Amino acid sequence: MKRHSAVFGLVIACVVASLGSAIAAETSATKPNILFIFSDDHAQHAISAYGSKVNETPNIDRLAAGGARFLNSFVTNSICTPSRATLMTGQYSHLNGVPVFNRFDGSRDNVAKHLQAGGYHTGMIGKWHLGSDPTGFDRWIVLPGQGAYWNPTFLVPGRKLTIDGHCTDVTADLGIEWLKTRPQDQPFFLMLHQKAPHRAWEPDERNKAIFKDKTVPEPDTLWDDYYTREAALPENQQTVAKDLTRRDLKLEPPAALKGPMLAQWLNTKPMEIEVVQPDGGKKTLTGKELVKWKYQRYMQDYLACVQGVDDNVGKVLDYLDEAGLSKNTIVFYSADNGWYLGDLGLYDKRFMYEPGLRVPLLVRGPGIEAGSTPEPFVANIDLAPTFLDLAGLPIPDSMQGRSLVPLLKGETPDDWRTSIYYRYYHDPGHHNTAAHLGVRTDTHKLIYYWKKDAYEMFDLTADPTEQRNLLHTEANDPAVLAKFNELKQEISRLQKEYKDEDQYADSSEWPAGSADGPFNDKRLVGVKTVSEAIAATVEP
């Protein structure tokens, strides 16, 4: 351990010297540190600061209490890899080249490259899921593809290594070790990305035990029959009732099953399940009783994974306080997309309905009013420009978002956006979610399934859970038709503004390459500790 620390210290000293100590000292004195904590599939309404009815997140809530909690934060394409490309580039999918699960071109411009050139020590730790090696980072250690929850393998430049433990704990520990070993005379930009609470929802043992016997309140729309929304919802394959697998539900397979037969058993979507009763007897569940049981199993594991993220946010915030870093560090917390907690009978993301469209965004740091709640519409295209603005660096014209710094100061520019443009492409794809685009304003939403030439329109003030498609129930109402035409015009305006000329609308145009590989298969044998793993990010 001491040998690795000594070598790592020598390497860091050389890196800092090569950058020029005078420049580094100047930037460190004048620029804030930026810590961006990102989780995967964390629903906004599974955070108590956002009014969760199903769990408590005291550590994420610390960011809300001590800083800004954005009330209207959205994504532009609610799916993992495209969202991460948007985070790095500040661009919509049709410009950054990642509409689906394809590989991100690492030679493209990205926010880390600008911060690195501007004197920041840059790091990327955790779930990357862009298929190419991270670029613009002085040090990086990332999961291959989705990564594993237990004893995860990580990639460092040119090598693989494995660390014992639960991925959520390990990722936070890697982040803290990175902070401890960073150059002391440079500001830092660290992207700390958790895998959790992504499917297959495998929580750590302490939180699994906490949630094992909890009864989670059901959402009002768990039994949604999709009446009035016949265009795409009836054929979707991400329902709690019909689409959770035996693997999702953590059912124990027969001991004799191996290989392909075991995989087939685990991937089956059961429509009846035998469960053990409190008295030791057994009961076969079907129908509505089974759906209720599936919902509880799903949510118990999902929320236990969220709790692990919250625990580790607290661990990182505690380190910032102990190290005296909080006073000059801007801390962000967000997620790559929204998520359905049984809302509309669904799990997963993708659809433009509110649970999938909304994401948490909390920001704490010097100059940000504690407990503030900015209301203007913001989107994930705004994050990269915000990082650059906080660092005092110019925002390139290629970025389509806007800096949130004025909003963090309590100021809303007169020309701030009043609508959000969304586009989802992955059709055919996972869960049979139809391709669609749309616009969301303060009061209404219009969704267009372009392959089906079908629309849905909602009055979000009168119908916040999006149960009544006005184009089905009130299609002849002049006021409804007027609003329909107004929203169609707004979509056209936004497509021009964002230069969306229908790229990737046809799946035959999707870029090649996968976000899940390929990767260098060399393995660094015997690495089991966080300190050694961090050292391996720069050791030859």
* Alpha-carbon gap, residue 415 to 400, rounded angstroms: 15
Residues 78 and 352 sit within 8 Å (Cβ to Cβ): yes
The label of the residue with tokens 């169609």 reads 488
* Alpha-carbon gap, residue 398 to 392, rounded angstroms: 18
3-state secondary structure 133-164: CCCCCCEEEEECCCCCCECCEEEECCEEEECC
Residue 289 makes CB contacts below 8 A (sequence gap 6+) with none
Residue 80 makes CB contacts below 8 A (sequence gap 6+) with 40, 41, 101, 129, 198, 336, 337, 515
* Alpha-carbon gap, residue 392 to 304, rounded angstroms: 39
The label of the residue with tokens 């999902």 reads 302
Averages of pLDDT over runs of 10 residues in the chain (540 residues) are 40 39 43 98 98 98 98 98 98 98 97 98 98 97 96 92 96 98 96 98 98 96 97 97 98 95 97 90 95 98 98 98 97 98 98 98 97 98 98 98 98 98 94 97 98 98 98 95 98 98 94 76 72 80
Looking only at the bridges linking them, the beta strands covering 329-335 and 33-39 are parallel
Specify the pLDDT at position 405: 98
Give the other-Cβ count within 10 Å of 7's Cβ. 14
Residues 50 and 333 sit within 8 Å (Cβ to Cβ): no
Residues 77 and 89 sit within 8 Å (Cβ to Cβ): no
Residue 51 makes CB contacts below 8 A (sequence gap 6+) with 45
Angle of helix 2-19 relative to helix 21-30, nearest 10 degrees, comes to: 90
* Alpha-carbon gap, residue 179 to 325, rounded angstroms: 10
Residues 44 and 50 sit within 8 Å (Cβ to Cβ): yes
Specify the pLDDT at position 27: 39
Give the H/E segment covering residue 423: strand 419-424
* Alpha-carbon gap, residue 422 to 357, rounded angstroms: 9
The label of the residue with tokens 């920001």 reads 363
Q: Domains plus CATH for the chain?
A: 2-203+303-419+514-535 (3.40.720.10), 218-294 (no CATH), 430-509 (3.30.1120.10)
The label of the residue with tokens 């956002």 reads 50
Burial of 78 (0-12, 13-18, 19+ CB in 10 A): buried
Residues 516 and 131 sit within 8 Å (Cβ to Cβ): yes
* Alpha-carbon gap, residue 170 to 153, rounded angstroms: 11
List strand residue ranges (DSSP E) for 245-401, in order. Answer: 273-276, 282-285, 329-335, 361-364, 378-379
- Go through 490-518 and write b for each residue having 16 or more CB atoms within 10 A of its CB, e for each that does not: bbeebbeebebeebbbeeeebeebebeee
Specify the pLDDT at position 427: 95
DSSP state of 166: B
3-state secondary structure of 331: strand
Residue 36 region by backbone torsions, left for phi larger than 0, else alpha for psi between -120 and 50, else beta = beta
| Residue 334 φ then ψ, to 5° | -155, -175
* CA distances, 56 to each of 59, 68, 367, 371, 373 (Å): 9, 18, 27, 18, 19
How far is C-alpha 416 from the chain's CA centre? 24
For the chain, the straight-line distance linking the first and the last C-alpha, in angstroms and rounded, comes to 17
